Chain A
Amino acid sequence: MANRILVVEDDSNIEQLVTFKLKNSGFEVFNARNGKEALDFLQKNSVDLVVTDVMMPVMGGKELVMELKKDPKTRSIPTVMLTSRTLEKEIVEGFELGVEDYIKKPFSPQEFIVRIKTVLARRKT
């Protein structure tokens, strides 16, 4: 069964790019425009991984991860953050929240896929 991935991103460029690349690599991909939509989606569906942007309207990536970690149902879903913020502080904060991996924009789509696969493989073992 293909791994299910939820992509939370408000910028349609990156959203389409990431979605395309993930689909190409054989994942099943779902989309949400912000943290709220993602939470609503996760109420009803389960996924194997969440890729989220940090800066989004309505509800940002950090808040989303915090909410995910609060709920026992979603706590175990690994999250990968996609961010243009390269400040060290931000990254440390993200990892402290329980984010699995951090991908800085601009990113290499090839590397992105490899990282996603690594996170999923780590989760399986």
Chain B
Amino acid sequence: MSSGGRPTGHWRTDRPPYRNHAGETAIFFLFVLVTTFFALFLIAIGSIGLIVAKVRESTVESTRGSHDARTRQALNAYLFSDIPTADPAEDRNAFITQLEPLLIALKIELDIDPFARRHARRRSLKRVMLQLTSEVIGETRIRLTRAFEYFGFVDETVRTLDDHRWWVRAKGCKNAGLMLNEAALPHLERCLDDENDDVRIEAAQAMLDIAGVEIIAPILMRLQGMSLWMQVRLSRSILRYGEHAVEPLVHGMRSEYPVVQGFCAEMLGILGDVKAVPTLLEYIDYTVPEVKHKSLVALGRLGDDRSVPVIKRFLDSDDERLRIDAARAAGAMSSPSLAYSLHWMLVKDTMNVKLAAGEALSRSGEMGLKSLRYAMDLGNEDVRKVAMQYLHEAGVDVHAPREEDGGLL
């Protein structure tokens, strides 16, 4: 943390018998001078820059504020004035035609300003409208969407998608999504291949916002990978569609990228629609362990009897992790035919699998509890401990004295 070498000495140059230091001294002086000026220069630049930035920020903020206040007033008149056909669901085109005079009024309001200020007002309009998109829904939202198109903000935004700075592209994708204009879709689709993850995510998100559930499958097939962050972001929108998202996700299982497959499997599990079971079973044998893992978790969540044979097969897998996943899924099935295998795993398998099997048994009803009880009485030290833990967690008093042949069972 220290900046290292601190002061040191230099040596008198008037000692003729030993060496003449005049040259070195000159160099040293030069070094001192140059570095000092350099450092002072940097400090000065930094401090001045800081102050200038602060002052500028505050003035920009205040002019922005005054612009925005005026813009909002003009905009409110457009957004909330009553018009004859107030229901856009009936006839969207009629509704939009009726907005026209209001838009013209708003445009005139903006055009009163002198030229230089008109730019600032335009930016202000865009800013305020973008902010409002996240606050309103319904009829007002359609008016906003129309206004974005009318004032040419959509074209302006689409042009930024080719910028060389990633954050400008990402921002463009985000704004395009907020403007809800289908004209942006092909441009956004191009951004799905962007080199920057944030741009890809914003593009996919925007496409979902604009086109809704129909676009899920095309996006999934187009993606060449998904970061966890992208999965988190997209899952939010996809889950909102509920059962309508099942079919596109089933389609997405066909992606050649395991990450995308895994994502689909996970989502299908969360959605909890048993329609997904056949697809999950179909793919589980032809894919990488990571997707198998996610499919098993999903199958466990779905809890459909059709998956029992597959889960049973995975209980014998060579991969410890998959055995654990299968055991967990088996616990959710509460199928008696799985209980026998689980019991066997509890007795013979590794500690991690024992724990998973124990937990699964504790959830498998009477049969499972009986098996745990048996293991607790007859198993070795580890088996007993695991059995005790899960009996205890299932609410059985493991220390209570028992009548012969288990009053419990």
Contact = CB atoms under 8 A, between A and B. Distances in A.
Interface of A: 12-14, 16-17, 20-21, 24, 105-111
A107 B132 contact: no
Q: Is the interface of B mostly helix, strand, loop or mixed?
A: helix
Given A12-B69, A13-B128, A107 B80 contact: no
Given A108-B137, A110-B138, A13 B76 contact: no
B139 interface: yes
B134 A105 contact: yes
The 4 closest A-B pairs by CB, nearest first: A108-B138, A20-B76, A106-B137, A16-B72
21 contacts: A12-B68, A13-B132, A16-B69, A16-B73, A16-B76, A17-B72, A17-B76, A17-B79, A21-B80, A105-B134, A105-B135, A106-B135, A106-B136, A106-B137, A107-B135, A108-B136, A109-B80, A109-B139, A110-B86, A110-B139, A111-B138
Contacts of B131: 13
Nearest to B127: A13
Contacts of A14: 135
A32 B341 CA distance: 66
Given A24-B80, A109-B80, A17 B68 contact: no
B90 to A, nearest CB: 15
Contacts of A17: 72, 76, 79, 132, 135-136
B137 A12 contact: no
A48 B220 CA distance: 52
Interface of B: 68-69, 72-73, 76, 79-80, 86, 128, 131-141
Which of A16, A105, A107 has the most chain B CB atoms inside 10 A of its CB? A16
A37 B138 CA distance: 31
Main secondary structure on chain A at its contact with chain B? helix
Contacts of B79: 17, 109
A12 B80 contact: no
Contact of B134 (A21, A106, A109, A111): A106
Nearest to B76: A20
Contacts of B134: 105-106
A109 B73 contact: no
B72 A109 contact: no
A16 B68 CA distance: 11
Nearest to B82: A24
Contacts of B80: 20-21, 24, 109
A13 to B, nearest CB: 5
B140 A109 contact: yes
